[in-house]
Every structure is written in C-alpha cells, then in structure tokens.
Chain A
Amino acid sequence: MLDFLPENISSFGGEIDGVITYIWRIILAWLVATEAVLVYLLVRYRRREGRRAAWLPATTWRAKAWILVPAVFVTICDIGIEARSAPVWDEVKLELPEPDLLIRVTGRQFVWTFTYAGPDGELDTADDFEAITDLYVPRDRVVRFQLESADVLHSFWVPVLRLKQDAVPGRSIPGWFEATADGRYEIACAELCGASHTAMRGRLTVQPPEIFDAWSSTMAEQQSL
C-alpha cells in the first residue's frame, strides 16, 4: 500500500515517510493479529449442539488481565510511535534552519503567488519580485517561506516535498523546505477555499542553483527597471 506514496524530493520527506512506514507496520501487525483472533473465535465457538457457553464475567483482575495486558501493549506501542514521530515534527515545523532563500507564499482565490525577497534577502523592499503560479527554487538550498492568505483559508500542499501548511488570513506562518532533485512538480491547495478550489494548482520547478541564480538576477533586474 505504501508504494502509492509519491516520489520524495524533500530533505525531510524521508523522515516523514519513515514515520508513516513505522506506524504502518505496527498497526498492520495489530490489525492482522486482532482480526485473526476474531475470526478464530468465530469459527471455534460457533454454535454446536450440546455445547454450552462458559460463564466468564471477568470480575477478577486475573480475568481482566486478558484485556488489560493487551491494552498495556497498545499503550507501549503508542509511546513508541510518539517517540518516533515527535522529533520529526519538531524538525519540520519547529526548528527552522538558516535560509538560503526567502519567499512569501500567498494564497488567494484561486492562485498561488510567490514573492521573492530579491538580492537584499528581505521581504517588502523595493527589490522584491513576484512569480504567479510558478514557484522556482534552487536545488539543495534551504528555502524559507512565509505563508499568508489574502482572503480565505488555503493550504499549501506540495506532495513531493511532503509539505502541507494552511494559509490563514491575518497570520504569516513560517516554514521551510529543501528540494533535493531537479524537475517540475505540482502544487495544490488542500483546504476548501471556494468554487474553484480544485483549480488552484501551481507548479514547482527545482533547478540547479546556478540556473536559478541567473533567473533570479534577471528577475531582480527587471524589477529595478
């Protein structure tokens, strides 16, 4: 089933896939075991002439142990899952690394707009330039984004980057990613935002850093003209 996951081109995507795989294995083991017990009991204890059911109200701790001990194992698995997954969350959403490139991603009905900080590396200055629908980033560089919305909720969703974050009007939500492979990929909006929510599609182009830099300086020059 996990083969259905899309290609991963993000530095932290492998970690997220790792968490999914880790949980998947645990729950699959539980599921198979429990369903097997269920089916076994159904076959083994189907109604037979002359066989009376047993009287097992489970009022003693000894009897309750049959369900409480497995529940303890569930708890242990839960703790294991949380221990595996919490650091990954922190890495992706909390510990933002020093950026090589700063952009602002703005969702509005029904387009994505990308504002580049330009040569000075600061947003809201004269040398900012914009790209609509198409996001260009350099490969192997840390991209920091500030996610904003001009109207309603949107969600910046880049499956190959394992990146999803809602854009909320009134907030500027920081995030980051580092793409690891050149190519053209898709961006979508994962939060219902109105009639053309479906069509709110963007493109992500990952380029070798030198090509990106050339493009970037051309854009900045045009801006200053």
Chain B
Amino acid sequence: MSHGEPESFVRKYIFSVDHKVIAKQYMITGLFMALLGGFLAYALRSQLAWPGDSIVGLGVIAPHAYNSVVTLHGTIMVFWVAMPILVAGFGNLLVPLMVGAEDMAFPRLNMLSYWVFFLSTIVIIASFFVPGGAAGGGWTAYPPLSGTVHASGVNWGMNLWILAVALEFVAFLIGGINIITTGINMRVPGMSMWDLPLFVWEELIASIVFLLAVGPLIAGAVMLLLDRSFGTGFYAPSAGGDPLLFQHLFWFFGHPEVYVLLLPALGIMGEVLCAFSRKTIFGYRTIVWSVISAGLLSFVVWAHHQFVSGLDPRLAFPFSVTTILISVPFAVHLFAFIATLYKASIRFTVAMAFTLAMIALFMIGGVTGVINGSAAADIFIHDTYFVVAHFHYTLVPIVFFATFSGIYFWYPKLFGRLMNEGLGWVHFAGTFFFFNLTFIPQFALGLMGHHRRIANPQIFEFLRDGQGLQVLSTIGVIGLLAAQVPFVYNFFASMVRGKPAGRNPWEATTLEWATASPPPHGNFDEPQTAYRGPYVYSPPGEGPDWIPQFEPPAEALEPDTAISETAS
C-alpha cells in the first residue's frame, strides 16, 4: 500500500490515489454538475413563469422535455452534486486529515470509486442526447411510468438513468466503506472515538446510513431494469406485481438519503461554528447521540412520502408518529449549535455567515416539514409546491450553504491560499437574498394548491392569480445563479492570487490545521498525536483562546504569531 510522491502529471493529478486530489476531483465534478443542475432549474422556472415562450439558451420546452428537465434537475442535484461534494468531497479531504492519517485506508479503492463515479457522470450526461430524450419519470422514477417504454415514450434515457444511478451507488458504497474504515481505524494515538471532530462523526454515520439504506433500492433498481428490458412484472399489476413495492424500496432509501446529505453538512457547520465563535461545542456527546438516534429513526419514517399513495390508510398513524418524532433529535442538534453561540466571541467571516444562514434557513425547512409529516395536512399539501419549497429550504442550505461555508473555510487545505472575503460577502448576500426570493413564493403557490411537475400552471383557473409569484420565483432563481459568478471567479482566481494561508489561518484546533496548507503528499511532516478533545477554544484562565488537539501539553501555550497573523 505504500506509495511515494508520484512524479508524472497523470499519476499526480488524474489517476491519483492521494485523498486530497480525489477530494478535489469530487468537488470540482460536483460543482460543475451544480452548474448543469442550476441551468435546468433556470429552464424549468422560466417555463413556469412564461409558459411556451422561448427560453434564452434553450428555446421552447415541449411538455415531455419539461418532464426530463424536472427529472434531471432533481437527480443531478441529489446524486451528482450533493453526494459527491458533501459526502465524498469533504469526506475525502477531511476525514484522513482530521484523524491524522496519511491517506485513506484504501487509497487505490478510493481512486476506483472516483472513476466509477466519473463514469456515472458521463452516463447521466449522455442520457440527454439519446433518441427519445432523457428520463422523464421524476427523480423518484415511479413505475409504471418509468417501468415501460410505451407509458413515457422514453427508452434509452430511462435505461441510462438507471445505469448511471446504479454506478453512482457502487461508487459511493466503495467510498463509504473506505471512509468508515478510515474514520474508525486510522485515528492517531490518543484520539478516542469521543475525541473525533464532529465532522468525522457525522460523516461516519452518514456513510453507515447510506450503506444500509441503499441495498433495497439497488435490488429495486435491478427489478425496474428487468421490467423494462425483459418484460418481467415486478411492478406490473397485470403480472401480479405492485407499483407500490418500488415506492417502498425507493423511500426506504430516499428518506435516509436526506440525512446522508444533512449530516456531513451539520459536521461542516460544527467545525466552522466553533472556530469562529471561539467556543467549544455545546454538548458534544449529546450531539453525537442525537445524530445516532436520528440515523436509526430515519429507517422507520419512509412511508410518510406515501400517505396518499394508496398505502393502507391505517399505516399513516405510525409513520406520522415516527416522522414527527424525528424532529426531536434534530431539534437537539440545532439547539446545541445555537447554544454554542451563547457567551461566544463571534468572528463574522464568510464561512461563518454561510453556516449561520444555514441554521436560520434550515429551521424554516425543518418546521414546514412538520406540516407535511401530519397525515391529515398532507392530504392537501402532498405533491404541491409547498413540499417543493419545504425540501428546498432543507436541501439548499444543506447542499449549498454548508458547502460554501466549508469551501471558504478549508480552501487553504485545498489550495494553500485564502479566498477573497470581499467577493465572498457579495456571494453570500446574493445567495441569501435570491434564495429566499425563489422559494418563499413557492410556499404561497403550494398553499394555493399548485401541484408539482406541471409545465404550464396557467391552464388552471385556480392558479392564474399566482402568476406574479411564479415570475418572482423565477427572478429569484436567475439572481441566485448570477450570485454564483463572484464565487466561481473567486474559487479559481484565489488558487493563484489568494493570500497564502499558512498552516492555521483561522486559529482552529483540529488536526488538519497541524500541517502545511495545502498538506503535502502523506499529509503530515511527522506522526501526530491527539492530546485532547477537538474543540478546546477559550479554555478557562488566561493564555491563547485555542489549544489545538495536536499540541503537546508540556509546550508553552503561546500562539505562534507567524501563523496567526492572517486570522483577524
């Protein structure tokens, strides 16, 4: 398994086994796919605001093409943006560094998982260009619509969709096993499980949840492919099959999947929150237990997506109860984050702003979920834009606000420099404002009864009054995309022009800050030891307001002025 620093360009930057390079590959692929997913969002929102008009950059969208746009927007954002960036990208970058390892447990498997993922990316992009167009059955791909060619008119697009998702699952299964093994097994001496940074905990639990939840859907996807290609009838009532079976398999995975994305995001936020509030996390073990219990509960809530799906109505009550109960561990988690700010000394950086905004916005997503979780209210709310607004208020903070926070925060460990804070604030302000402008109108539209995945709301009389809100929301998404321009510029320009960061620009405590920025091949100049918990900020008494995990107790506790000058 040993490997020295590779010499050739290809080995160093393309087929690299170095976890930091692989992390960058995941992140950059994910960010690129985010642009694609964002463009699809722009396309579908434009269609909704100005139905039938030609859309700049795309032309007129036919109804079946609209279905493909909606389907691929959701699919790409979940599987090709959120998963690679949050789970694989940050997981690869940070888990080995935070536990003090020189690489992942299985570097070559790690490379393999990225390239399987890359292949899946090619397949999903290719699915746009095959005859019949891309999959149009929604990101949930419910059969019979997705199960037969004649129902949707989409043939190869759907097959490639299933293939791409399956490849992606394989990639993240391999990657997840690697992350779990690394996080549990590769900890430096002195680091017990209770000394792990929160990010590592959340990443571990997310990977375990993914690994246990995805199996049934893999089986379900195989059955769907067999139904399509060989005429079996797993989901066809005429053959004794049941379309609801797929829904169960899908949501048994689909709900935990939300937490697979949420947990790494919360982990990122925990690190950022402590570093910039100069305060230890409030209730470290309470948070870890809340995450574990949420992970367990997430396996028994799935049918809340199916209250009105034809499920036995007597099942609504138990699933409604578990769903509403799962709000409790997450309430504990968020309350702990908020309590961390009590008696803190808060430094407002761009990274911190994104984390704080994530908390503020995610709460909106969280509380509106309670309405969906109540089976009675769901009769009206289900499959309306209220649900769309709700899950975008959870997923956009998770996938974008937390990601941005993490990128601004760990940019030094990616590229050795700091991103420009001024541009960062422009990015933050634009993203925050336009995000709300996009989705607040959708709550109102949902309450009007606006159902999902329709290409032209104007044909319904009860939705005509909502056209102003449609336009507002579309202006929001255009603004939201425009607000990413300073970020994209900042991201690339800072690689060469950013201020050199030094080892520990934020005066943070975890092990990734013990090494150079960016860390060399093999990560650390010398083997590390953990001497204390991860968040010793502002310990009682005088002295510096942080004591890193890696600092031996015997040494003088004066801050190294050379590395801390960039922090203020």
Contact = CB atoms under 8 A, between A and B. Distances in A.
Q: Classify A-B as touching or not with yes or no (CB < 8 A).
A: yes
Interface of A: 1-2, 4-6, 15-17, 19-20, 23-24, 26-28, 30-31, 34-35, 37-38, 41-42, 45-48, 51-59, 63-64, 66-68, 70-71, 74-75, 78, 81-82, 85-86, 88-89, 92-94, 109, 151-153, 155, 157, 159-160, 162-171, 173, 185-186, 188-199, 201
A45 to B, nearest CB: 5
12 contacts: A15-B376, A34-B363, A45-B345, A56-B342, A78-B324, A151-B151, A168-B244, A170-B241, A186-B460, A189-B451, A193-B145, A201-B459
Given A109-B151, A195-B64, A190 B451 contact: yes
Interface string B357-373: 00110011001101100
Given A64-B286, A82-B320, A194 B152 contact: yes
B331 A57 contact: no
Contact of A92 (B70, B379, B461): B379
Nearest to B444: A4
In this complex, which of A42, A157, A198 has the most chain B Cβ atoms within 10 angstroms of its Cβ?
A198
Nearest first, the 7 A-B pairs at minimum CB distance are A170-B237, A159-B449, A54-B343, A27-B367, A88-B376, A195-B64, A53-B538
Contact of B377 (A30, A85, A153): A85
B508 to A, nearest CB: 14
Given A16-B376, A27-B370, A46-B346, A86 B320 contact: yes
B221 to A, nearest CB: 18
Contacts of B462: 6, 159-160, 185-186
Nearest to A23: B371
A194 B376 contact: no
B356 interface: yes
A31 B142 contact: no
B303 interface: no
A205 B263 CA distance: 49
Contacts of B363: 31, 34-35
B345 A47 contact: yes
B377 A53 contact: no
A4 B313 contact: no
A82 B321 contact: yes
Contact of B367 (A16, A31, A59, A160): A31
A179 to B, nearest CB: 15
Nearest to B443: A1
B3 interface: no
Interface string B445-460: 1011101111110011
A56 B540 CA distance: 10
Interface of B: 63-64, 66-67, 70, 136-138, 142-145, 151-153, 237-238, 241-244, 277-286, 308-310, 313-314, 316-317, 320-321, 324-325, 327-328, 331-332, 334-336, 338-339, 341-348, 356, 359-360, 363-364, 367-368, 370-371, 374-377, 379-384, 443-445, 447-449, 451-456, 459-462, 537-540, 545
B231 to A, nearest CB: 16
A56 B137 contact: no
B10 to A, nearest CB: 44
A190 B382 contact: yes
Contacts of A160: 462
Given A56-B279, A88-B376, A109-B151, 11 more contacts: A6-B462, A38-B338, A38-B359, A42-B356, A53-B343, A89-B375, A162-B380, A164-B382, A166-B309, A168-B309, A185-B462
A20 B371 contact: yes
B144 A37 contact: no
A52 B543 CA distance: 10
Contacts of A188: 451, 454, 460
A78 B376 contact: no
A86 B343 CA distance: 42
A61 to B, nearest CB: 10
A163 B286 contact: no
A45 B342 CA distance: 7
Most buried by A among B153, B344, B364, B379: B379
B338 A37 contact: yes
Contacts of A165: 308, 310
B324 A68 contact: no
B138 A192 contact: yes
Contact of B332 (A59, A71, A191, A193): A71
Given A20-B377, A23-B370, A56-B282, A153 B144 contact: yes
A199 B343 contact: no
Contact of A164 (B138, B370, B383): B383
B313 A191 contact: no
B370 A157 contact: no
B313 A71 contact: no
Contacts of A167: 310
A166 B308 contact: yes
Contacts of B143: 152
A30 B367 contact: yes
A63 B286 CA distance: 11
Contacts of A173: 310
B453 to A, nearest CB: 5
B138 A198 contact: no
Contacts of B343: 45, 53-54, 56
A153 B280 CA distance: 51
A41 B341 contact: yes
A168 B243 contact: yes
A122 to B, nearest CB: 23
Contacts of B538: 52-55
A6 B466 CA distance: 12
Contacts of B342: 41, 45, 54, 56
A69 B293 CA distance: 18
B380 to A, nearest CB: 5
Contact of B144 (A19, A24, A152, A190): A152
A190 B314 CA distance: 22
Contacts of A162: 379-380
A111 to B, nearest CB: 14
B341 A153 contact: no
A81 B308 contact: no
A24 B142 CA distance: 31
A155 B374 contact: no
Contact of A86 (B317, B456, B460, B540): B317
Contacts of B452: 190, 192
A67 B286 contact: yes
A149 B381 CA distance: 22
A220 to B, nearest CB: 30
A57 B285 CA distance: 10
